Amino acid sequence: MRRQLAVLLVVAVGVVTGVSACSKKPGPEAAVAAFEALWTQGKTDGVAISGSDAAAVLAQLKTMAGDLSPNQAKLSTGKIDTTDNSASAAVTVNWTVAPGVAWNYQTTVKLAKSGDTWQVVWSPQTVHPKLQAGDTLAKHTVAAARGQILDGTGAAIVTDRPVVEVGVQPGEIKNQAALIATLDAAFKSVAVDVDVSDLPARIAAAKPTDFVSVVTLRREVYDRIRSKIHELEGTVFHESTLQLAPTRTFARALLGTVGEVTKEQMDASPGLYSIGDQVGQSGLEKTYDLPMRGAAGVKVVIAGKKNTDGTQEADQELFSADAKAGTTLKTTIDQKLQNAADAALANQPLRAALIAVRVSDGAIVAVANGPAGSDLNLGFTASVPPGSTFKMVTALGLLDKGAVNLDTPVNCPKTVTVQGRTFKNSNDFELGTVPFRTDFAKSCNTAFVSLAPQLKPDGLLKAGNSVGIGTVWKLGTEVNTGTVPANVSDVEAAAAAFGQGQTLVSPVVLAGAAAAVARGSWIQPTLFSELPPGAPAPGQGTAAPANGTKLNANSVSALHTMMREVVTKGTATDLQGVPGGDVFVKTGTAEYDNNPADTHAWTIGWRGDIAFAVFVEKGGSSAATAVPIVAAFLKGF
């Protein structure tokens, strides 16, 4: 019994001793942790401040942080040196001051012990060692240089160019009606389309000293009308620079535009943009806006105070991060050829596109979209029937199969009926039985309809795929490579043989096909010498042939002969007088609704090392619209 009692006493003493050990008062670590939560999360519960309270300190901290957000800081506590009634904690601050930019520095949190409680000794130096009472942190952003768009030689296409913003100041206007009429006439004299109909309402809504913007003009355009508008009472002019291409129309739909960020863009990407930022609004500028924007530089300073005499003290810099220039886009565009393409479409009132591809390497050297559709890259994204230009592909398939040769007699009647549907030729012409080369040169639909069964079920699809139509392209921007039907009815196969029915293409894919026939092998057209980071994923389609895949040499030779005869004996004789070497083409009109009179106009082909495709939406006869555009383009370089 005595031994058991002794053991119990020992255990009891041990338990009491253990309880006493666990009741030790909290050290300074808990006080530091609570203060860090106040700083980074705005939590005031459990925060002990010497001589003040947590809410007041939080308010001071927010004021002192100025342009910075306290909740963007991460704090980590290092060594805490402690004496009987005081402590000093080394704290590392990692403060995010801009997307991807952190300001790292060391500060010290001092503490004092009051009774059994550790309290933070608050001062401005707790936030940063150089802060004093009344100081405020400010953040200055240093804009990054926007990435350039280069041509195939490495020269900048889009770069800073001088502009003049034309505006009016309401309080200085003497005769509003006369002023607006004069401005309107001046703009029209240089072919600048400005809608001034809402200008009276905007002037009425503005203050007398406001600047009411009317239009921003390239400096060279402004200089042409300066004498007409500069001295008008009420006009005001602001000079600056904007990221612009060499001309207003230069590859506009492809390259796109840069403008001030819109509310919609700011709402879609909270925190990414600031009011006044220049942002890609269309084309490549929009597709690659984020990498082209680069990373802005940042400076964190103690804002200079204003003295009683009105002077301003200098800012004291605490941190800086250099701006990083945006990504440069290295395109394959040839500025001379692009100017020629733009000029060829300049007077075309209908939506149109002209795409040029260098035969030797597949580089896309010109992407022009006519004035009527200049903001839409019809050349890459159109999905329309190719009409008789597709006879180049059908002929390739027939030649590969040995179904025809250049001189195979093929009847060209006025009409052909397939399963109850009647097909006819343009203007109801007929040739009778003539060599296949003549059917091609004269663009006989009925001859190709009669040959369509030779390609079923998938011969036309394979021929199209061999020159890139309907295949996957890694172009670095949106592109429609078209569709070619397979395993379809006799009627659909007949329509597809001359580019109607379910056959759909874009101008760029036909330019690529013409380049393949010109060189005798397939190379995917390219827009960039190297794909930029973040390039969009390619679309769906059949796997493209490997670059360099040879076409049948005999078929290619026959196609060269026939496409030359389109110029010398066929539907494009107006191109015979074009200088610079032999031209090889295939023309086409493509019906796009149930009215045979409604047609798109096409011409595809090549001269020398440049292949091309011209498309005019609702252009009617190719001889009247597309062929003259080809002639103008070829004469332009």
3-state secondary structure 69-90: CHHHEEEEEEEEEECCCEEEEE
- 484 C-beta neighbours (distance < 10 Å), count: 24
pLDDT (tens digit, 9 = 90+) per residue, 312-366? 899 999 999 999 999 999 999 999 999 999 999 999 999 999 999 999 999 999 9
Q: Quote the longest CA-to-CA distance of the chain.
A: 133
Q: Can you tell me the distance from the alpha carbon of 252 to that of 282, in angstroms, rounded to the nearest whole number?
A: 9
- Indicate the range of 215-219, 246-250, 436-440, 622-626 predicted with least confidence: 246-250
| pLDDT beyond 80 at 5 | no
| pLDDT beyond 90 at 271 | no
Arithmetic mean of pLDDT over the chain: 93
Q: Which amino acid is at 514?
A: A
Query: Which residue pairs from 581-587 have beta carbons closer than 8 angstroms and sit at least 24 positions apart in sequence?
Result: 581/607, 581/608, 582/607, 583/607, 583/630, 583/634, 584/518, 584/560, 585/627, 585/630, 586/388, 586/389, 586/391, 586/392, 586/440, 586/443, 587/388, 587/389, 587/443, 587/622, 587/623, 587/626, 587/627
Strands 156-168 and 235-244: antiparallel
Cα four-point dihedral sign 563, 404, 362, 498: positive
Q: How many residues does the chain have?
A: 637
Q: What is the SS3 assignment for 188?
A: helix
Decide yes or no: CATH 3.40.1350 for domain 149-321. Answer: no
Which residues, 6 or more positions from 462, have their beta carbon under 8 angstroms from its beta carbon? 397
Q: Find out whether 538 and 294 touch, Cβ atoms under 8 Å.
A: no
Strands 415-418 and 421-424: antiparallel
Q: Which amino acid is at 208?
A: P
Which pLDDT value is given to residue 24?
Answer: 64
Q: What is the SS3 assignment for 551?
A: coil
Which pLDDT value is given to residue 593?
Answer: 86
Domain extents in the chain: 28-130, 149-321, 335-635
| pLDDT beyond 60 at 12 | no
Q: Which residues pair with 367 in a beta bridge?
A: 355
Alpha-carbon torsion, ordered 206, 211, 212, 217, to 10 deg:
180
Which pLDDT value is given to residue 372?
Answer: 80
H or E segment and range at residue 9: helix 2-22
H or E segment and range at residue 381: helix 378-381
| pLDDT beyond 90 at 594 | no
> Is the entire prediction scored with pTM above 0.95?
no
Half-sphere exposure of 239 (CA within 13 A, CB side): 8
Q: Can you tell me the distance from the alpha carbon of 596 to that of 620, in angstroms, rounded to the nearest whole number?
A: 10
Buried b vs exposed e over 81-97: b needs ≥16 C-beta within 10 Å?
Answer: eeeeeebebebebebeb
Q: Can you tell me the distance from the alpha carbon of 179 to that of 234, in angstroms, rounded to the nearest whole number?
A: 8
Q: Can you tell me the distance from the alpha carbon of 259 to that of 281, in angstroms, rounded to the nearest whole number?
A: 6
| pLDDT beyond 50 at 13 | no
Q: What is the average pLDDT across 524-547?
A: 92
| pLDDT beyond 90 at 540 | no
If pLDDT is split at 50, 70 and 90, which confidence band does 14 have? very low
- 614 C-beta neighbours (distance < 10 Å), count: 36
Q: Regarding predicted confidence, which is higher, 27 or 111?
A: 111
Buried b vs exposed e over 197-206: b needs ≥16 C-beta within 10 Å?
Answer: eebeeebeee
pLDDT (tens digit, 9 = 90+) per residue, 30-53? 999 999 999 999 999 999 999 999
Buried b vs exposed e over 122-147: b needs ≥16 C-beta within 10 Å?
Answer: bebbbbbeebeeebbbbbeeeebebb
The structure tokens listed for 227 are 């004498």
If pLDDT is split at 50, 70 and 90, which confidence band does 167 have? very high
CATH second-level architecture of 335-635? 3-Layer(aba) Sandwich (3.40)
Fold of 28-130: Nuclear Transport Factor 2; Chain: A, (3.10.450)
If pLDDT is split at 50, 70 and 90, which confidence band does 488 have? very high
